[in-house]
Amino acid sequence: MLQLYNTMTRKKGSFRPRNKGVVRVFSCGPSIYAPPHIGNYRTFIWEDVLQRYLKYLGFEVQRCINLTDLEDKAVEEAAARGVSVGELTDANAVRFLDEARRLRINMPENIPRSSTSVEQAVFLIRELMEKGYAYRYRGDIFFDPLKFKGFGKLFRLDMNKWPKTKQRFKQDTYPGRRWNLGDFILWHHFKEGDGVYWDTPLGKGRPAWNVQDPAMISQTLGYSLDICCGGVDNLYRHHDYNIAVMESVSGEELARYWLHGEHVLVRGKKMSKSLGNIVYPEDLVDSGFSWEQIRFYLMSKHYRKKLNLNLDELRRTSLKLEGMRGIVSELLKGARNGEGVRNKAARDLTGELKTSFDKGMNNDLDTPTAIDGVFKQIERLHSLHKAGKIGPEQSLAVGARLREIDSVLQVLF
């Protein structure tokens, strides 16, 4: 049975969805004020592996990945470039979808944007105000975390440190891994000169980032999920804000399982504009690596462990991938050229392909162990193949099993 590490419980346990056979998953998508970098794509790839493995196990997966196109950063970046927010974010959305396709990331049909969920955001805010969780202050609307029982439960925030005096935080995001001990903003009211606003029952303005994900989640998947996942940075404020907003409106648990992936580091540091160490997929392609090699490299370490980007290591993993693909190609040739051989060892090893893969994947999506297990079995099968002990029928069986596995990994064919 699939075991997942749940950030909420800080334990690994058996995965059981709310409804038998159906899994609802929300993946925090990119903020498209800028193109996604290689660290963002590591998150999107392990989330893609999660979705594909759930399907491999026989689940129907209902998944939403969102595009954040209304946060302060998008408004500020567009103004700095002298373009509209739509022009800026549309270009980055096109780039993201193209790169995701090249990295074989399976995108769901429904990809909401913050800008397409404003009406739902307004509905949620009005509900929160009516229930006493949110209030208006100088035109803006804030959420009072002290009104929500269990605030900070995902992070395990120490509420004893909460300030005695009222504090409000009106920016969408704040730098670094810090907690804003105070009320967080839900609605930016219109100010003269604002180029991005809607005329709504709340007045003119735009929803803050803290309500945008809840709006997109509730609009596409409802108020209760099986899995919510994203990068580890979301543990600081963002996911607990989502929980507070959603659960205050619905009275239901937002998600049963919370999964968080670690960073890609560059020279031991987190990627940031200030350090000038941001790496994009095209940078690696320009260095001679294929999209499949990049995907394989980003799966080469467990998603909950930091990955320090190293071109020498990327070359080694790329050689490993090409070696695997070469062996797979040789094995499949037996379907055309082999004799009618039925070999017990080959049959057993074909079964071991699935056993090895499933064992790794069922252990909290341990892709490195799963891949090494598959590699070990195909090397053994290759030895039998070279000895002429794999015939057409068994070669076809090997190919079918490897294609099942690659429906998840997306690197072998």
Alpha carbon 274 to its chain's center: 24
Per-residue pLDDT at 306 exceeds 80: yes
Q: Are 205 and 188 in contact (CB under 8 A)?
A: yes
DSSP secondary structure, 251-282, as one string:
-S-SEEEEEEEPPEEETTEE--TTTT----HH
What integer pLDDT is reported at residue 341 of this predicted model? 58
Residue 336 to residues 82, 84, 234, 379, 386, Cα–Cα distance (Å): 61, 58, 51, 20, 14
Residue 192 to residues 70, 189, 204, 207, Cα–Cα distance (Å): 18, 10, 11, 17
What integer pLDDT is reported at residue 334 of this predicted model? 64
177-235 residue pLDDT tens: 889 999 999 999 999 989 999 999 999 999 999 999 999 999 999 999 999 999 999 99
93-132 residue pLDDT tens: 999 999 999 999 999 888 999 999 999 999 999 999 999 9
% of the chain at pLDDT higher than 70? 98
Per-residue pLDDT at 338 exceeds 50: no
245-294 residue pLDDT tens: 999 999 999 999 999 999 999 989 988 877 889 999 999 999 999 999 99
* Cβ atoms within 10 Å of 180's Cβ, excluding its own: 16
Per-residue pLDDT at 238 exceeds 50: yes
Question: What number of H helices and E strands is found in the chain?
Answer: 12, 15
What average pLDDT does the chain have? 95
Query: Averaged over 31-42, what is the pLDDT?
Result: 97
Per-residue pLDDT at 50 exceeds 90: yes
What integer pLDDT is reported at residue 335 of this predicted model? 52
Q: Are 227 and 255 in contact (CB under 8 A)?
A: yes
pTM (predicted TM-score):
0.95
Query: Averaged over 301-313, what is the pLDDT?
Result: 97
Largest distance between two CA atoms of the chain:
82
Question: What is the three-class DSSP state of 225?
Answer: strand
Please provide the distance, in angstroms rounded to a whole number, between the alpha carbons at the two ends of the chain.
27
Q: Which domains does the chain have, with CATH numbers?
A: 17-286 (3.40.50.620), 317-409 (1.20.120)
Query: Averaged over 367-395, what is the pLDDT?
Result: 93
E strand intervals along 246-368 = 255-261, 264-266, 269-270, 307-309
What integer pLDDT is reported at residue 392 of this predicted model? 85
Per-residue pLDDT at 340 exceeds 80: no
What integer pLDDT is reported at residue 76 of this predicted model? 95
Per-residue pLDDT at 339 exceeds 60: no
Q: What is the DSSP letter of 22?
A: E
Per-residue pLDDT at 336 exceeds 60: no
384-407 residue pLDDT tens: 998 888 888 889 999 999 999 999
Residue 347 to residues 325, 335, 342, 344, 350, Cα–Cα distance (Å): 20, 15, 8, 5, 5
- State the pLDDT confidence band at 136, using cuts at 50, 70 and 90: very high
Reference 321, options 343, 299, 306, 336; nearest CA is 299
- State the pLDDT confidence band at 363, using cuts at 50, 70 and 90: very high
